[in-house]
Amino acid sequence: MTAILGKSPELAGPVLRLFSVDCLIGGCEGSILLDSTGNSTAEKDSPLNQGVGGYQVVDAIKAKLEAACPGVVSCADTLALAARDAVRLTKGPFIPLPTGRRDGNRSVAADVAPNSPPPGATIADIIALFASKFNLTAKDLAVLSGAHTIGRARCSTVSPRLYNFGGRSGASDPTLDASYTATLRGQCKPGDTATLVDLGPPTPATFDTDYYALVAGNRGLLSTDAALLLHPATSAYVAAQANATSSAQFFADFAASFVAMSRLGVLTHHKGEIRQVCSKVNPPAPTTTNAGAGAGAGRSYYRLTTTAGLALITTLAVADLLM
């Protein structure tokens, strides 16, 4: 990841988002990485996931892992650890992350919408979705939204707030700071769907609390960012971090929420598989007369293990309790 981001630092945001999308649609089991097949459209090809990227990063790392230790490290863990490192390498916290995830073999585009906020969803609707489907709190939502401190978004995502807002010709979102609206209109012309704009200027490549200062000042780029100001629990967290004198509390909170999210729907032991190629399920294994012994011997690789310091993060995850 150091080499990848050294060459292409703009990939940190997409990798972090890719992991969040994977976890929030069926769990952290690498289903977002699977390609569509002739008779099934995969999650990555859902219209709601057309802006998701970073797949090439996981593929590059997985290829090296398979060359060094074939069949040991799953695509789900590869993605999880790449996302962890994307945070650290952009000056965010190091997150002691449990490993041992195995890969799922189901990826269906129809699963995306039921696990995503519907069009017109309010912040209360989003908080309810997080609670009911993911056992995540309003604070987790506010904390994990802080990942928008790095990365970029396409103009197609931003333009509905800049032009013809609410169906009114020429109108912009009145909750968006007027000077920021003018700046964004200079970057995103009407009809522009390709240009990328920074989620968290002026430090788009640094994982910090500037995101919360932007949101508090009505300069959050996305409508979901602005929505954080419309609920007491999330607006209180935004205000606290916008006025914080250091990033220490946000870093601790983010580590806890990230670990909680990383545990969603994981497959371990005999469940799932270790994909050889992240975009494809494995071919059927040949039958052997000693299959039981082989399966038992292999299981030791797949226990959900921890790294030093996980006890502290787990304590925070339980106390605070999700990409």
Question: What DSSP line would sit under 185-251, residue for residue?
Answer: HHHS-TT--S-EEESSTT-TTS-STHHHHHHHTT--SSHHHHHGGGSHHHHHHHHHHHT-SSSHHHH
Question: Would the annotation count 117 as a binding residue?
Answer: yes
Going by pLDDT thresholds of 50, 70 and 90, the confidence category of residue 102 is very high
Per-residue pLDDT of 23-77, as tens digits, reads 999 899 999 999 999 999 999 999 999 999 999 999 999 999 999 999 999 999 9
Under DSSP, is residue 103 helix (H, G, I), strand (E, B) or coil?
Answer: strand
Cβ(259)–Cβ(97) below 8 Å: yes
Question: Would the annotation count 270 as a binding residue?
Answer: no
Instruction: Give backbone dihedrals phi and psi of 197, rounded to 5 degrees, phi first.
Output: -125, 150
For residue 312, is pLDDT > 70?
A: no
Mean pLDDT of 284-307: 49
Going by pLDDT thresholds of 50, 70 and 90, the confidence category of residue 91 is very high
Question: Would the annotation count 31 as a binding residue?
Answer: yes
Q: What is the pTM of this model?
A: 0.87
- Write down the pLDDT at residue 286: 80
| Sign of the four-CA dihedral 62, 52, 258, 260 | negative
Question: Would the annotation count 149 as a binding residue?
Answer: yes
Mean pLDDT of 208-221: 98
Cβ(138)–Cβ(127) below 8 Å: yes
Which has the closest alpha carbon to 136: 305, 262, 313? Answer: 262
Mean pLDDT of 194-223: 96
Which has the closest alpha carbon to 108: 18, 21, 37? Answer: 37
Under DSSP, is residue 273 helix (H, G, I), strand (E, B) or coil?
Answer: strand
Under DSSP, is residue 108 helix (H, G, I), strand (E, B) or coil?
Answer: coil
Question: Would the annotation count 27 as a binding residue?
Answer: yes
Q: 296 CB contacts (<8 Å, ≥6 apart)?
A: none
Per-residue pLDDT of 264-293, as tens digits, reads 999 999 999 999 999 999 998 787 655 444
Mean pLDDT of 88-101: 97
Question: Would the annotation count 265 as a binding residue?
Answer: no
Location of structure tokens 């508090």: 216
Question: Would the annotation count 10 as a binding residue?
Answer: no
Mean pLDDT of 109-119: 89
Structure tokens at 61: 């790392």
Location of structure tokens 């310091």: 309
Q: How deeply is 236 buried, as exposed, middle or buried, from its count of CB atoms within 10 A (0-12, 13-18, 19+)?
A: middle
Question: Would the annotation count 208 as a binding residue?
Answer: yes
Cβ(226)–Cβ(121) below 8 Å: no
Question: Would the annotation count 107 as a binding residue?
Answer: no
Beta bridge partners of 153: 197
- What DSSP character marks residue 40? B
Q: 216 CB contacts (<8 Å, ≥6 apart)?
A: 229, 238, 239, 242
Beta bridge partners of 102: 267
